[in-house]
Structure 1
Amino acid sequence: MSANLPIPAEFAEIAAICVAAEGMIGNRSALTVNARDLHTGLQVRRDFSNWIKGRVSRFGFVEHQDFESYADLSSPDLASPKARAQETKEYRLTLDMAKELSMVENNEKGRLARRYFIWREQQALSAQPSVSVAEIERRMMQALGGMVKSVVNKQITPKIEQLSQKVDGVLAVRPAGVAVTSSRTARGWLQHYGVVKRKRGMSQRVSSALKSLSFRMGYVVSQTAEEGKLCFHEVVANAYFGVGAGRHLLPKTVKDQKEMGLEPAPSPFTKTPA
């Protein structure tokens, strides 16, 4: 069917009122019809504003998907000296929505309008240039290549860029060139420093404190391989329990840092050690 095919005689009247033209619905271009024109073409007796609002509400049409609403400034009546321009709310409908509105009117005008919109869609489709098989294959390969690249970037590349290995049952993620050291959970460090009896919630509070201190000192927070619990670098733990807030949690039997083998507090890093 040619794009310049004359409009069939049976559609001449409705086509003159409901002009199907290219318009934007959401972020896509589509054939659209002005709702006020459709209201006129269908010869609906209800006033336009109540009619379109009622149809949208009753049939669940979605803005930016089935239609677009916009404000339009009407021209004043030049014959009346007191007439002023007024702002009206207009609606731009997709042909699918226009067909459904036409059908639910359940009269001859509605059935005629629906057939016209179907004919208009067929005309638009036939006017589109055909795509060769080679072009279709090229597009498919391009899309497939993009999908593969996305999978590689999301799942494989991060694992290549970060060295991962198990240390004492812990999956330690560290930058290249950094020596492997002991990492433990908050509970593990509490046990290591002799805190056997713990109050409820102590492990969680210590974990939060070690996490915050790790970020400030520039050390990576890793996770256990099985349970995914947070683990912390021994240098961070030494600083927290040796000279930080955690020193008050140590048992009274611990006399000084040397008895626990604690290291002096390190200087803070501005970024992850390299």
Structure 2
Amino acid sequence: MTDFNNLVPVTETQLNGKLQQTVSAKALHNYLKVGNDFSTWIKGRIKEYGLIKNDDFLIFDSSEFRNQSTNNEQQIKWTTKRGGDRKSTDYILTIGTAKELAMIENNEKGRAIRKYFIRCEEHLKEIAPAIQKKAFKRLKARLEVADYSRPMCDALTIQRLSLGKETKPHHYTNEFDMINRIVLGMTAKAYRKAHNLTGDIRDHITEEQLNHLAYLEKSNITLIDMGWNYEKRKAELIKLSQSYIIRLLGKVA
């Protein structure tokens, strides 16, 4: 059986403002074994069939086509017979455009690869509702953890005020760092560095981690209101976190 995914990988690229399934025109040309050289073939097809740049294809002046999906790090490299990169232009086609070009060739290989592209599209349609549902659940978790962040800071301010103490920025940071260490194993600053991130780490972590953070922040508000000090709250939050994980694993099982 032909391994189409290895010969002509379908990847994902930001094109025309959205993430789309795409194909390297060079990979398609190489598979189809079209008589013309690549440059003549692709430019001829673009002109003949009115393909539109940034709608039907993108141009990459590089030997590499990097998949822009965070879930897939596929990379296509083109080499000369002598070895090394062939520094030339590649055209990144939408899967719809790739289907058209395959059909135009009107040969067995063209028909076979077209069917493969259709299967890729059908698979995406099948999983799209699940992807959308997962994204919605993550957004809900992100909003929930945001709901508790401000009240937690307010509770800390009130507690310290009742003790005649001023609350400075690092006091709030200490609370968030404590909870981040329990859930993520490190502070937000360390997490950003470890994962090469910028901005709020809560925009990058998983739905499960967000729910865990929200649970501990909500619990911490109660403990602060009860007048517990930092060390006592930390010990209790660690216990609550362990219980939370056990319950979560029980649901999965």
Q: TM-score range by the shorter chain?
A: 0.3 to 0.5
Instruction: Give the TM-score normalised by the residue count of structure 2.
Output: 0.43
- More helix, by proportion: 2
Instruction: Give the TM-score normalised by the residue count of structure 1.
Output: 0.40
Larger-gyration structure (1/2): 1
